[in-house]
C-alpha cells in the first residue's frame, strides 16, 4: 500500500470519528433526572409547564423554571397523554435523529475498508513486513544486502592503518569512482571485482568501507551465507535482485563478506554437491561478467580462505585483482595503536613504539582488543590514566588467558607446577636460537595451571632447524623436571599440551618442511582443500609412513635427551627457580636473569611507584604457512 493511500484512509477515519462526536455533542446544563413515578405525580399536581418527548426519553420544565428529565418505561401508557393535556402541559415531540450522508457512507463502507486494510496488511507482511523490514514468505528472493548511503559512511583511509600496500592497491578504485573519464579516455577499465584475502582481523571489511567513504558512493554490505537458503533458486534470485538494486545506485560498491560460503569450488563428481550453492555461484558469475554489463558497480569480496574459491570466480573479468591484507609489521602496529588510543587517556610513560615492538603477530583486531582491555583494567583500578601496567596485564590476558586466582591449589600441586614451569624456562634459556623467556607464572590462566612465555626479539617469518629443535627441547623441559624431582612414577598429565605441540612441530619438520636428512626435502601428504578428491589424502607408501614415524621418534628422543642433560647440569637453578615461584608466583625477565646467573632474586617491579618499562616484551608469531605454533607460551 502506497503512503498516499494509507494517509487517505487515516484521514477518512479521523473525519468520521470527529463528525460522530460533533453530531452527538450537546451543550448547556445537565437537567435533573427523576423517576417516572415522580414525573407523573408532578404532572397531576400541575407543577409541569412543558415536556419534550423523544422516544422513551422525556425532558421537561416546571413552572418554577427548573428542568428535569426522565425515562418512560418501554410499555404502552394510554393515560400519559390524557394527564398531560388535562393539566395544561405543553407537549412537543422531537423528530428521530437521522445519520448524515457522510455517516451513512462511512458506516456502509467501513466493513469493506476494514477487509481491504487487513488484506493489504497481510500482503505487506508476506512481502517483507509493514515498515519493519521483517522477512516474509514472499521476500525469499529479495536481496538481504544492507545499503549505506554516502552520508552514512564516515570511514576513510585515515581510519585504516598498518596495511599501506593494500591501500595502494585499492586507491585507484577511489579515483575511478570519483572520475571515471580519467581512465576511460585512455581505454582503461577499472577492475570489476577485488578480492581481499588474509588472516582474520586484519581490516578487510574496514578497508572496503574506507573505499566507499573516500569515494562518497553508496555501499551495499552482505555476507556470503545470506544468499543460500534451503529452497532451490532463492540464492540466485537474491543475487539478481542485489545487482538490480546496485545498478540503480551506480556508481556504488557491493561488499560480500566471507564469500567462500557461496563461492567454493563447484563439485567435480566426488560425493555429490550442493545444488543451491552452485546455482547461486553460477548466477554470481553471470552477473559479474555476463552479456549485460554492470558499469559503475564494483564488487569487493573478503575471504580468509581464497584457496577454496572456484577458479572461474577468480579469473580476470570477475575478480581481476587480489589484494592480500596481511598481519601488520612493527611500523603498522604502531600506526594501528595510534588510531585506537585516540580517545584513551594515556600515562606519559606509555610508549606506543615499545608496545608495537612487543606485539608481533597481532592483527588490527588484536590490537584494538589490547587497548580496550587495558582501559578496562584501568577503570577497575579507579585510575584516571592508562599506564603500561594495564597494557601488560591486557597482553597477558589475551595471550595466556585470564587469571584464575580463585582456584584453590594445594602446596604440593603448586610446587609441582613451579618445577614444571621452571623446567621450560631453563631449557629454553640454554638452547641455541630459542626465543627469550619473558615471564614465568604459576597463577592458573585459562586451562593451564601455569605458563612460561617465550617472546621473540623481533618479527619472525621463517625458522631454522636449530631453532625448531630448541623449541621442542623446551617443550619437554617441564615433563623432564617433574621426572627428575618425583621420579618416572611422579610425572603428571600436565605435559599433554606440550607433547601435542612438540609432535606437531617435529612431524611438520619431517613431512612438510624438508628438515630431515633421512627423508629429504619432499612433501609427504597432500594439502587439504576443496579441490582435492575427498579433501586430500596421502601420496606415499606404507614403508615410507614407517620411516616417517621412525624419524619423528628419533628427533623427539634426541630433543628429550638434550633437555634432560641441561636440567641435570643445572639442577640447582631448577630448585632456586621453584622457590622463587613459590614466593612471588610470577617471575619476569630480570628475575629469570638473576636466577640463571645464580644471583639473589630481586623483588618484582611496582609499575605505579616509578618502575620503568623495560623493552623485551614480545609475543609469539604463528607460522602462516600451516598454522603450526612456532613459539609462545608453554602451558604447564
Query: Taking the CA of residue 279 as centre, how many other CA atoms within 13 Å lie in the half-sphere pointing to its CB?
Result: 16
Alpha helices in 75-163, H assignment, sequence order: 80-86, 101-126
100 backbone φψ class: left, alpha, beta (φ>0; ψ -120 to 50): beta
The residue from 278, 389, 421, 482 that is catalytic is 421
Is 411 a residue of the active site? Answer: no
Is the CB of residue 239 less than 8 Å from the CB of residue 197? Answer: no
Return the C-alpha cell found at 46.
400541575
Helix (H) or strand (E) segment spanning residue 196: strand 193-197
Residue 376 DSSP label: H
Return the C-alpha cell found at 380.
577497575
Q: In what order do the strands lie in the sheet with 252-257?
A: 146-148, 219-223, 252-257, 297-303, 193-197, 321-324
Supply the angle between the helices 542-569 and 571-584 in degrees, to the nearest 10.
80
Return the C-alpha cell found at 359.
606485539
Nearest in space to 325 (alpha carbons), one of 207, 429, 409, 419: 207
For 51, phi then psi, to 5°, come to: -140, 155
CA distance 575 to 415: 10
CA distance 378 to 263: 45
Peptide bond connecting 470 to the previous residue in cis, omega within 30 degrees of 0: no
Is the CB of residue 232 less than 8 Å from the CB of residue 273? Answer: no
Task: Write out the E strands in 47-169.
Answer: 48-54, 57-62, 67-71, 90-93, 146-148
Is the CB of residue 350 less than 8 Å from the CB of residue 342? Answer: no
Task: Indicate which residues carry an active-site annotation.
Answer: 421
Amino acid at each position: 500500500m502506497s503512503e498516499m493511500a494509507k494517509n487517505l484512509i487515516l484521514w477518512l477515519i479521523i473525519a468520521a470519528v470527529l463528525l460522530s462526536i460533533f453530531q452527538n455533542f450537546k451543550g448547556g446544563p445537565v437537567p435533573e433526572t427523576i423517576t417516572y413515578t415522580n414525573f407523573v405525580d408532578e404532572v397531576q399536581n400541575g407543577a409541569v409547564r412543558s415536556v419534550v418527548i423523544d422516544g422513551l426519553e422525556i425532558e421537561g420544565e416546571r413552572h418554577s423554571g427548573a428542568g428535569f428529565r426522565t425515562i418512560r418505561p418501554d410499555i404502552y401508557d394510554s393515560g400519559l397523554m390524557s394527564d398531560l393535556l388535562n393539566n395544561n402541559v405543553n407537549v412537543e415531540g422531537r423528530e428521530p435523529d437521522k445519520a448524515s450522508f457522510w455517516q451513512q457512507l462511512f458506516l456502509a463502507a467501513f466493513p469493506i475498508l476494514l477487509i481491504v486494510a487487513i488484506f493489504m496488511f497481510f500482503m505487506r507482511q508476506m512481502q517483507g513486513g509493514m515498515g519493519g523490514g521483517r522477512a516474509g514468505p514472499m521476500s525469499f528472493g529479495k536481496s538481504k544486502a544492507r545499503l549505506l548511503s554516502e552520508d552514512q559512511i564516515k570511514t576513510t583511509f585515515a581510519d585504516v592503518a598498518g596495511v599501506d600496500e593494500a591501500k595502494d592497491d585499492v586507491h585507484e578504485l577511489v579515483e575511478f569512482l570519483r572520475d571515471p573519464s580519467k581512465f576511460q579516455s585512455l581505454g582503461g577499465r577499472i577492475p570489476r571485482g577485488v578480492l581481499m584475502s588474509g588472516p582474520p582481523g586484519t581490516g578487510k571489511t574496514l578497508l572496503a568501507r574506507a573505499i566507499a567513504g573516500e569515494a562518497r558512493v553508496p555501499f551495499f554490505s552482505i555476507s556470503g551465507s545470506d544468499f543460500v537458503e534451503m529452497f532451490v533458486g532463492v540464492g540466485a534470485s537474491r543475487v539478481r535482485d542485489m545487482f538490480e538494486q546496485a545498478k540503480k545506485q551506480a556508481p556504488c560498491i557491493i561488499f560480500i563478506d566471507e564469500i567462500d560460503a557461496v563461492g567454493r569450488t563447484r563439485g567435480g563428481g566426488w560425493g555429490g554437491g550442493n545444488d543451491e550453492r552452485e546455482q547461486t555461484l553460477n548466477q554470481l558469475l553471470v552477473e559479474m561478467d555476463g552479456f549485460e554489463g554492470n558499469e559503475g558497480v564494483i564488487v569487493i569480496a573478503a575471504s580468509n580462505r581464497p584457496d577454496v574459491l572456484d577458479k572461474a570466480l577468480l579469473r580476470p573479468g570477475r575478480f581481476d585483482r587480489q589484494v592480500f591484507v596481511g598481519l601488520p609489521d612493527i611500523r603498522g602496529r604502531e600506526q594501528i595503536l595510534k588510531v585506537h588510543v585516540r580517545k584513551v587517556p594515556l600515562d606519559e610513560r606509555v610508549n606506543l613504539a615499545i608496545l608495537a615492538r612487543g606485539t608481533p603477530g597481532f592483527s588490527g583486531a588484536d590490537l584494538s582488543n589490547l587497548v580496550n582491555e587495558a582501559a578496562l583494567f584501568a577503570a577497575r583500578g579507579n585510575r584516571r590514566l592508562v599506564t603500561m601496567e594495564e597494557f601488560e596485564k591486557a597482553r597477558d590476558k589475551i595471550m595466556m588467558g585470564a587469571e584464575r586466582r580463585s582456584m584453590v591449589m594445594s602446596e604440593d600441586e603448586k610446587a609441582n607446577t613451579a618445577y614444571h614451569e621452571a623446567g621450560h624456562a631453563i631449557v629454553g634459556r640454554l638452547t641455541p636460537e630459542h626465543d627469550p623467556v619473558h615471564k614465568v607464572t604459576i597463577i592458573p590462566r585459562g586451562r593451564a595451571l601455569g605458563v612460561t612465555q617465550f617472546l621473540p626479539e623481533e618479527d619472525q617469518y621463517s625458522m631454522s632447524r636449530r631453532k625448531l629443535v630448541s623449541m621442542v627441547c623446551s617443550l619437554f623441559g617441564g615433563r623432564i623436571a617433574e621426572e627428575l624431582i618425583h621420579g618416572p612414577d611422579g610425572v603428571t598429565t600436565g605435559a599433554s599440551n606440550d607433547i601435542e605441540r612438540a609432535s606437531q612441530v617435529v612431524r611438520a619438520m619431517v613431512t612438510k618442511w624438508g628438515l630431515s636428512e633421512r627423508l629429504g626435502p619432499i612433501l609427504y601428504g597432500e594439502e587439504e582443500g576443496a579441490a582435492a578428491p575427498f579433501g586430500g589424502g596421502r601420496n606415499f607408501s606404507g614403508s615410507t609412513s614407517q620411516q616417517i614415524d621412525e624419524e619423528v621418534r628419533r628427533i623427539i628422543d634426541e630433543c628429550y635427551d638434550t633437555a634432560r642433560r641441561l636440567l641435570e647440569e643445572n639442577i640447582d637453578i631448577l630448585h632456586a627457580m621453584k622457590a622463587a615461584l613459590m614466593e612471588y608466583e610470577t617471575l619476569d625477565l630480570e628475575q629469570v636473569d638473576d636466577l640463571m646467573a645464580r644471583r639473589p632474586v630481586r623483588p618484582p617491579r611496582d609499575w605505579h611507584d616509578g618502575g620503568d618499562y623495560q623493552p623485551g616484551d614480545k609475543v609469539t608469531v604463528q607460522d602462516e604457512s600451516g598454522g603450526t605454533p612456532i613459539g609462545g607460551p608453554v602451558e604447564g
